[in-house]
Structure 1
Amino acid sequence: MILSVRLLGGAVLRVLSCLTTEHDLGLVIVAGLVCLLSMVTAFLLAAQIGEMRARQRRRWLAALGFVSGGGIWATHFIAMLAYQPHLPTAYDPLRTVLSVGVGVAASTLAWRAFFAKRAIWRLAAPAVFAIGVAAMHKTGMTALQTTGRITYDGTMIAASVAVGVVLSYAGFHIAKLRWRRIPILPALGLVLAICAIHFGAMAAVTIYPEAGRTIDPGTIESGTLALLIATLAAAILGVGLVTAMAEARIARHTRHETDRLKSFSESALEALAILENDVIVDANTTFWGLAGYDPVHPPEGMNLAELLPDLAGDTPQRRGPGFFNARLRARDGERIDVEMAFRRGQLLGVDRDLVVLRDVSEQTAAAARIAHLAAHDPLTGAANRLSLSHLLADALSRSTEQAPVALLCLDLDRFKAVNDIHGHGTGDALLVEVTRRIRECMTGNEALARLGGDEFAIVQPGGDQPHRAASLALRILDALAVPMQVAGRSIRTGASIGIAIHPDHAATAEELHTKADLALYRAKAHGRGTMRFFDATMDAQLVRRLELEHDLQFALQRGELSLVYQPFACLVTGAVIGFEALLRWTHPQHGEIPPAEFIPLAEDGGMIVPIGEWVLRSACREAGRWRQPLRLSVNLSPAQIAQADITEVIASALADAKLDPRRLDLEVTEGLLVGDPDGTLAALRRIKTLGVGIAMDDFGTGFSSLAYFRVFPFDEVKIDRSFIEQVTVSRESLAIVRAVIGLGKGLGMSIIAEGVETEAQMQLLLAEGCDKIQGFLVGRPRPIGDYRRNVLIQPQAPAANPPGWVGDWARLALHQNTAVQPAARSAAA
């Protein structure tokens, strides 16, 4: 250790002795200043190069190598001019020029290592620089010619190079701290390295005079060398300074443009990123925030494929002119829906790609919600009717004989009663619970749809049919038979299910749905709470239904529709006081079609409004020709009352027939008031202003009539025939009839009982205080001509004999109505 310190001390003393005794200190100082200016200029250039991209650096590294390498050469030869060996000296021109090349090449290599991407090259840059300085010094020394023999101390040279490496490392390390002003400190580090290598190597030189050694002709003398050095130094400094100033101006402009572009990009709503060879070189805060990264410390060198793996490389979307949809993979793995576009162009003088992204995840989610709402029932979340058609079509497209498709159509039992008694809120809650129970009965590949109201359908693809469909139907019937706790009430309901199977029963989705509906109607007709499969007899019914639906559209214009009239009488006097007009259809092939069959077809097919208007106008014209002021009753359908011009139609019919409005009674069913009570009541009030009477038909079969009696003054209540049939044998029916009559009397309404067929029924109603009766006991529905002679022409006198009844016209009616069959009774409805 002591020996090493002594050696180091001795080396330092040798260098100091060399400087003071063998050099002109003035020129040494000049050499140091030239070296310092060269290194400062070099570092100014290096600072600009550090902000450039790899492609731009190549040409500027050459200038940097020339400035720093030329500065090293100038420093060396100025110091050689200061060297005074007390012997004649000169310099070989070829080797002198070669030393310039060595200095520039070595310096350029060192700076390339300094700016390299790989850390090992950056670590090697100081050593390359120091060794390059030593190589240039050695080449320059070989150019020296003198009249003596030159010897070198290898140990001293090695030590000077080692010190130079350390000082070079210090200079380059300080430069990495990114000095923004004049880089004096890093330049001083390299100046000290260069001087240490040069003067340490010069201290290792010993020249021994040698007789007979001469200087070769053609060498460069000291004066010429000085001029050459001055010229080169000026060129170096000039080129360096001009280059540095130009680069500084360009850098300022670039920074200004960059800041302006950055400010513009930060104010943009879109996410913006600049790419160079698919590497993100810059991006705004919105972009990094969308990708899930810290905008203050964004990742460096990230490839676009890491965020958008589907768009790596030259994809067709990237070549397109507009925006397209993609999915961004954020830092946390979340997939974000974006709209994006690529633009190719020059940014700050370099060809780059600009990527524009818009976060459309909210719009995508909203669109998904809209699509879901468009395809699903908002109350229950089940698929809706539109979705059912798509689901069914898709299932049928994959169906085979080995993988059939079953369609189950389901209707709830007693749902209308729940709605009427407990309100629509309870009804909605019931539907939600029903949907939940049905889903619990289903397996994975079945789809549930709510078609509206209490109608549901289930698509069941594949499996062992019909056993699989039957098993599902039975599970659903069992589940819905259990009472449900809804809105604090225990509600008991049930369901009827109709099933059709493709391809056994139908070839198309529409046909399959129709046949499942027919099976459902059959299930409901057989006591409800049951299931039925479609069979061939239902197919015959379907053919008849479709045929009748088609022919009914032309029945009115073909004159196939007609009116019959059924009389009703005053129960006290026995006098006929009016007729109810009833519609009949005589089909050219099928004969008389029951009203219970063709009226629903007219309602479903949209024919009920024109047919109903024809009935109203025809009946009013007929009543207008009667000589007796008898009353006329005409039924109005819900569809007619829903028409905005219904009041004008009724007024027109009365005016055309010259019929007193007080003679016309319009009958409506209480079910009419359930769907839109406010709108219906408003329409009835407008109709009542014409002076006509409004009667409640089929009273007692619904569940909401009493509430409407409080808000609308009906003129008459008609007791349904179902109660009259049992009134003499059923205490419950009698109690209901008494209650209705008592209610009507209390509210000042007239009471009429329909379906009266026996003397016993008539006597009981008379005793209970009923006002009017209608039924086969009074007269069958017949063409008005059958009653013209007995009723419409001859005046009606009060009955001379009360309850034993009724008068000549009634006896005639009873004679005509003998052997009345149940079928005829139902046809009179």
Structure 2
Amino acid sequence: MLQVFSCIVTDHDLRYIAAAVAVCVLGCMLTIRLFSRARRTTGLQRLNWLFLTGTMGGATTWTTHFLSMLGYLPEVTSSYDPSVTLVSLFLAVSTAMIGFGLATYGRRSMFVEAGGGIIGLGIAAMHYTGMSAYMVQGVVEYDRGFAIASIILGTLFGVLATNRVVRPSTRFCRYGAIAALVAAIASTHFTGMASLNVVFDPRVVEPTELLSTYFMSFGVTAITLLLLSLGASTYAIDSQTNMAAVARYRHLSLHDPLTNLPNRAAFNEHLATVLENCRLDDTARFVVLSFDLDRFKEINDVHGHSAGDAVLRTIAERTSQCLADGEFLARMGGDEFVAIKQQCYSRTEAAAMAHRLLDQIARPIAWNNQVFSVSSSVGIATYPLDGKTLDDLMAQSDVAMYRAKNTASGSVCFYDASMDFAARERNALAIEMRHGIEKGEFELFYQQQNDTVSREIIGFEVLLRWRHGQRGMITPGDFIPIAESTGFILELGEWVLRMACIEAAGWKNPLKIAVNVAAQQIADPRFPAMVHQILIDSGLAPSRLELEITESGIVADQQRALHAIRQLKTLGVKIAMDDYGTGYSSLSTLQSFPFDKIKIDRAFVDGVETNRQSAAIIRSTLILAASLDIPVLAEGVETEQHIDFLRNEGCLQVQGYLFGRPTPRSEIEHVVNAVPPLSDTSAEARPIVEASRVPADEDGKHTPSRFAASA
């Protein structure tokens, strides 16, 4: 060891040694990095990286050797054989390629260490081949012990270099691999040089075609700089490409491809960061805003997903442009969006942001010569007042959003603890509702409709009741809105229509029935075919079935509704406008749609005795209906004064508690199974029987809200 150290200090120009060490360290760093890159690739790309790795590793070994040799200070003149020098370079590069290739393709087998051993042996082979190109006026002798030691040291350190790359135990192993490769080159060279002994012999004549020390210095330096620059540039380009690719992949993984808004993963990451910052600052406050789009499903169902995508892109662009500093917006999926506002210390600030978003959402959206109008409602949860975790804040903003949607479109609602109980109840009912049909808990009730003059029963209105096993009787006002919001209304509505038709088909008295239809049912393209199949299965004459449609159920997409109504009328089914007078533009709707009946809403009948406007609306409706030759039925008749007014004004059909409350099937058997007079057996001779949405009160009083059997 002392002889090796003495060789370095006394027999070499330390300036060349310093240059050799610098080249060796830089070259080994690049070589190990290129080797690691080659292991992460496959196919032709891996071969390219292995070529660069072998070239850089071999050139580093060769350059380190000859820079050190140029610093060697023998007592005789020296020069270099150019052909053998080039052979040593080729040998260094080729053995490095073979060794790194074997370590790469060996995966995690012992071939990894075998490849490292080949690299070490290649370093020794290059060293002693290069030494054979060293020409002096004398005799070159070697100490066999040091020569063997140099080969062993190079091989062991070569094995260690590849081992640390392929089998790392800590994150610092890559630096250990670089140090091992440096040690393999340095130990081989300087131990080998310690074995060298030059004996001057004047009889030795040097060949004439040799490279001088100065020319060799220039050549080695040029090749070194070229190879280092090439390797460094290649690695830098690849690193930048990888960084750009990683950045691109990260952007794609954290952004919605349709709207380019941050997605759920990005939102969770952002909210986690905000929460962490808030934990470090006790005074920090922020709000989470949840909202989705009203009537978006109808746009998708009627106009296709291209229209829905256009709506989402437009709304995303508009809402993202209205964001201020400290505000963040993400699309969670479908038509669901969530926003965050940091440094929000008052409800006024949160509400202002919510209304900014709602204003952008409410703007008309043009697409393919059509104009869509959507709306939304926003629920807001506040940190730390409402929750301190991501899950709590998300759940509470959702609860507040659904409360806002139940209030009115375009509403903003802040979370409060009382909403949790109501939300749990709604969720429980939504789950239990699906099992209710299977358990037979739903049943049909019937409310009679009467002739205004004769007071005879002209039909029945079907009402839905839920007799829950544990909760008792649940009114439609509690479960119908849940069915509508969850989409279960389609299944529930089909069940009601099927059961009503089956029961009515078995009546001896062929009275007509009417079943209300929800907006989701009308928007469903399969609805007319489903009605047709139910009529076939039940055997009910189509003329005995009347479907009631509210104006609010068709205003969202009038073209789709008109197409469905025309298909239903082709079957022979009657169509009635329900809740007339409470819609958006009843006159234009009557003009556009082929209704067979108008049902005046109970709110107008109830105020006919005291409210001049209610009486005027009823009179004008009756005049309009007479001119259009459409029958009129008035709901909510509860007093003799009501029926007297309606009879005097020419209304021929009424319905209300004056004649009877909704009752189960068993209590109308005497009516529906009574054999009608011969002249009345024709189905067309009987007035239409209808199914409304009036819930039964225990006290028999008028109930303001009306919920359809199937809507």
- Contact kept in structure 2, 1:469 and 1:499, CA below 8 Å: no
How many pairs are equivalent? Answer: 449
Determine whether 1:716 maps to 2:594: no
The verdict on how the C-alpha distance between 1:455 and 1:723 changes in structure 2, with shifts beyond 3 A counting, is farther
The verdict on how the C-alpha distance between 1:689 and 1:552 changes in structure 2, with shifts beyond 3 A counting, is same
Matches of 1:739 and 1:452, distance apart in 2: 48
The verdict on how the C-alpha distance between 1:470 and 1:750 changes in structure 2, with shifts beyond 3 A counting, is same
2:275 aligned residue: 399
- Aligned to 1:779, what secondary structure does the other structure show? coil
Any idea what the Cα deviations from partners look like across 1:634-688, whole Å, max 9, x if unmatched?
1222333444443343233223333221111011222332333333322222221
1:782 aligned residue: 663
- Contact kept in structure 1, 2:286 and 2:340, CA below 8 Å: yes
For residues 347-362 of structure 1, what are the structure 2 equivalents within 5 Å?
none
TM-aligned CA deviation for residue 548 of structure 1: 0.8
2:349 maps to amino acid: S
- Contact kept in structure 1, 2:256 and 2:263, CA below 8 Å: no
Unaligned runs of at least 5 residues, structure 1 = 1-274, 281-302, 306-310, 319-323, 328-336, 340-360, 378-382, 416-424, 488-492, 799-815
Any idea what the Cα deviations from partners look like across 1:7-29, whole Å, max 9, x if unmatched?
xxxxxxxxxxxxxxxxxxxxxxx
1:516 maps to amino acid: S
Matches of 2:559 and 2:582, distance apart in 1: 21
Any idea what the Cα deviations from partners look like across 1:477-535, whole Å, max 9, x if unmatched?
599899x9999xxxxx9996532135653566565344224334545767888754322
- Contact kept in structure 2, 1:396 and 1:502, CA below 8 Å: no
Determine whether 1:751 maps to 2:632: yes
Determine whether 1:820 maps to 2:690: no
Matches of 2:538 and 2:501, distance apart in 1: 6
- Contact kept in structure 2, 1:396 and 1:405, CA below 8 Å: no
The verdict on how the C-alpha distance between 1:758 and 1:455 changes in structure 2, with shifts beyond 3 A counting, is farther
TM-aligned CA deviation for residue 370 of structure 1: 12
Any idea what the Cα deviations from partners look like across 1:546-576, whole Å, max 9, x if unmatched?
1111111211101111111111122233221
Determine whether 1:728 maps to 2:599: no
Determine whether 1:551 maps to 2:432: yes
Matches of 2:584 and 2:606, distance apart in 1: 20
Matches of 1:317 and 1:529, distance apart in 2: 52
- Contact kept in structure 2, 1:651 and 1:690, CA below 8 Å: yes
1:607 aligned residue: 488
Determine whether 1:325 maps to 2:241: yes
The verdict on how the C-alpha distance between 1:743 and 1:435 changes in structure 2, with shifts beyond 3 A counting, is farther
The verdict on how the C-alpha distance between 1:713 and 1:827 changes in structure 2, with shifts beyond 3 A counting, is closer
TM-aligned CA deviation for residue 596 of structure 1: 2.3
The verdict on how the C-alpha distance between 1:596 and 1:507 changes in structure 2, with shifts beyond 3 A counting, is farther
- Structure possessing the higher relative contact order (Cα contacts under 8 Å, 6 or more residues apart): 2
Please tell me whether Structure 1 or Structure 2 has the larger radius of gyration of its CA atoms: 1
**Match for 1:376 among 259, 282, 288?**
259
2:263 aligned residue: 387
2:656 maps to amino acid: G
TM-aligned CA deviation for residue 315 of structure 1: 5.3
2:349 aligned residue: 471
- Contact kept in structure 2, 1:393 and 1:509, CA below 8 Å: no
**Match for 2:580 among 695, 699, 703?**
699
Determine whether 1:656 maps to 2:540: no
Matches of 2:387 and 2:483, distance apart in 1: 26
For residues 153-552 of structure 1, what are the structure 2 equivalents within 5 Å?
312=233, 314=235, 317=238, 325=241, 374=257, 376=259, 383=261, 387=263, 390-392=266-268, 394-396=270-272, 398-400=274-276, 401=279, 402=282, 403=284, 405-409=286-290, 443-448=324-329, 457-461=338-342, 463=343, 467-473=345-351, 497-502=378-383, 504-506=385-387, 509=390, 512-522=393-403, 532-552=413-433
The verdict on how the C-alpha distance between 1:585 and 1:705 changes in structure 2, with shifts beyond 3 A counting, is same
TM-aligned CA deviation for residue 786 of structure 1: 1.7
2:528 aligned residue: 647
Q: Among all aligned residue pairs of Structure 1 and Structure 2, give the percentage whose two residues are the same amino acid.
A: 35
Cα RMSD (Å): 5.1
Matches of 2:400 and 2:363, distance apart in 1: 30
Any idea what the Cα deviations from partners look like across 1:319-378, whole Å, max 9, x if unmatched?
xxxxx9369xxxxxxxxx899xxxxxxxxxxxxxxxxxxxxx9xx89x98999773638x
Question: Under a length normalisation based on structure 2, what TM-score does the superposition of the two structures give?
Answer: 0.52
Matches of 1:545 and 1:817, distance apart in 2: 22
For residues 760-771 of structure 1, what are the structure 2 equivalents within 5 Å?
760-771=641-652
- Contact kept in structure 1, 2:636 and 2:702, CA below 8 Å: no
The verdict on how the C-alpha distance between 1:404 and 1:537 changes in structure 2, with shifts beyond 3 A counting, is same
Matches of 2:502 and 2:238, distance apart in 1: 75
Any idea what the Cα deviations from partners look like across 1:123-176, whole Å, max 9, x if unmatched?
xxxxxxxxxxxxxxxxxxxxxxxxxxxxxxxxxxxxxxxxxxxxxxxxxxxxxx
- Contact kept in structure 2, 1:612 and 1:636, CA below 8 Å: yes
Matches of 1:701 and 1:824, distance apart in 2: 13
Matches of 1:635 and 1:539, distance apart in 2: 32
Matches of 2:223 and 2:592, distance apart in 1: 79
- Aligned to 2:617, what secondary structure does the other structure show? helix
The verdict on how the C-alpha distance between 1:471 and 1:740 changes in structure 2, with shifts beyond 3 A counting, is same
Matches of 1:540 and 1:629, distance apart in 2: 46
TM-aligned CA deviation for residue 828 of structure 1: 8.5
For residues 57-96 of structure 1, what are the structure 2 equivalents within 5 Å?
none
- Contact kept in structure 2, 1:576 and 1:791, CA below 8 Å: no
- Contact kept in structure 1, 2:259 and 2:317, CA below 8 Å: no
1:689 aligned residue: 570
